[in-house]
């Protein structure tokens, strides 16, 4: 079953923001907005939920900290304790100041790398994936708002989107 969407193309980000607000006020469902650069406040104007990526980053940092502590405790205290510079490594707490930089680095390493992997998986950005950009001009200087037709009248929606300042309004079968 194919669904119909309307692509409204804009040439200015301020005009796009105003159009998004008007479209939401008119109770039309915005599927996606394609922009050539990040538009500040667009996520709030579209009514998108805040991201939980920061929470996962914190959890990944805790995993990195845990790995660092357990790794250093095993390597430097249990498995092969050494007398380095006259400082014997017989207790983790006695040597904690020397371990702080390693704990910090592994915390940041795990948080950064696992957060990037999570972002790519969540965004469905796989290696060698074909681009899903509906109009090539949105990578240069145009903005595209994709609005679901649903049970609405196509002519009324097209007129409404034209009145919001859209340069082009096209009906697309998905």
Residues 84 and 144 in one domain: no
Residues 46 and 58 in one domain: no
Residues 72 and 115 in one domain: yes
Lowest model confidence (mean pLDDT) among 40-49, 52-61, 124-133: 124-133
What is the rounded distance in angstroms from the CA atom of residue 98 to the CA atom of residue 108? 17
- Within a domain: 101: yes
Positive/negative CA dihedral, 136, 139, 140, 144: positive
Residues 22 and 72 in one domain: no
Mean pLDDT of 69-89: 81
- Within a domain: 91: yes
What is the chain's mean pLDDT, rounded?
Answer: 89
pLDDT at 1 over 70: no
Residues 46 and 77 in one domain: no
Residue 92: per-residue pLDDT: 81
Looking at residue 25, which CATH number applies to its domain?
3.30.70
Phi, psi of 119 (to 5 degrees): -60, -45
Per-residue pLDDT band at 151 (split at 50, 70, 90) = confident
Residues 42 and 30 in one domain: yes
The pair of structure tokens assigned to 72 is 């250093």
- Within a domain: 129: no
170: enclosing H helix or E strand: strand 168-173
Please report, for residues 82, 94, 131, 159, the alpha-carbon distance to residue 88 in angstroms, rounded to integers and kept in the order given. 6, 9, 57, 79
- Within a domain: 45: yes
Residues 44 and 96 in one domain: no
Residues 78 and 100 in one domain: yes
Residue 88: per-residue pLDDT: 67
Q: Kind of pairing, strands 143-148 and 4-10?
A: antiparallel
Q: Give the chain's domain count.
A: 2
Residues 105 and 58 in one domain: yes
* CB 157, CB 11: distance < 8 Å: no
The pair of structure tokens assigned to 31 is 């599927």
Residue 173: per-residue pLDDT: 87
Instruction: From 4, 9, 19, select the one nearest 163 (Cα to Cα).
Output: 19
Provide the CB-side half-sphere exposure for 26 (13 A, CA).
22
Residues 104 and 67 in one domain: yes
* CB 24, CB 30: distance < 8 Å: yes
- Within a domain: 127: no
Percent residues over pLDDT 70 in the chain: 97
Mean pLDDT of 41-67: 93
The pair of structure tokens assigned to 150 is 């649903």
pLDDT at 128 over 60: yes
* CB 6, CB 147: distance < 8 Å: yes
Q: What is the largest CA-CA distance in the chain?
A: 83
Residue 10: per-residue pLDDT: 95
Residue span of the structural domain in which 67 resides: 53-122
Phi, psi of 132 (to 5 degrees): -110, 25
Residues 63 and 101 in one domain: yes
- Within a domain: 128: no
Residues 153 and 167 in one domain: yes
């Amino acid at each position: 079953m194919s669904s119909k969407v309307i692509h409204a193309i804009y040439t200015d980000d301020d005009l796009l923001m105003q159009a998004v607000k008007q479209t939401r006020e008119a109770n039309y469902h915005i599927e996606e907005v394609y922009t050539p650069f990040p538009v500040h406040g667009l996520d709030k104007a579209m009514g998108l939920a805040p991201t939980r990526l920061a929470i996962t980053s914190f959890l990944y940092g805790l995993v990195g900290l845990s790995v660092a502590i357990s790794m250093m405790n095993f390597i430097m205290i249990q498995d092969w304790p050494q007398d380095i510079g006259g400082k014997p490594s017989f207790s983790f707490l006695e040597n904690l100041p020397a371990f702080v930089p390693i704990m910090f680095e592994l915390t940041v390493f795990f948080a950064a790398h696992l957060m990037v992997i999570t972002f790519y998986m969540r965004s469905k950005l796989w290696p060698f994936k074909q681009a899903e950009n509906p109009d090539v001009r949105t990578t240069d200087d145009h903005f595209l708002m994709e609005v679901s037709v649903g049970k609405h009248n196509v002519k009324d929606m097209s007129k409404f989107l034209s009145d919001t300042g859209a340069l082009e309004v096209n009906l697309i079968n998905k």
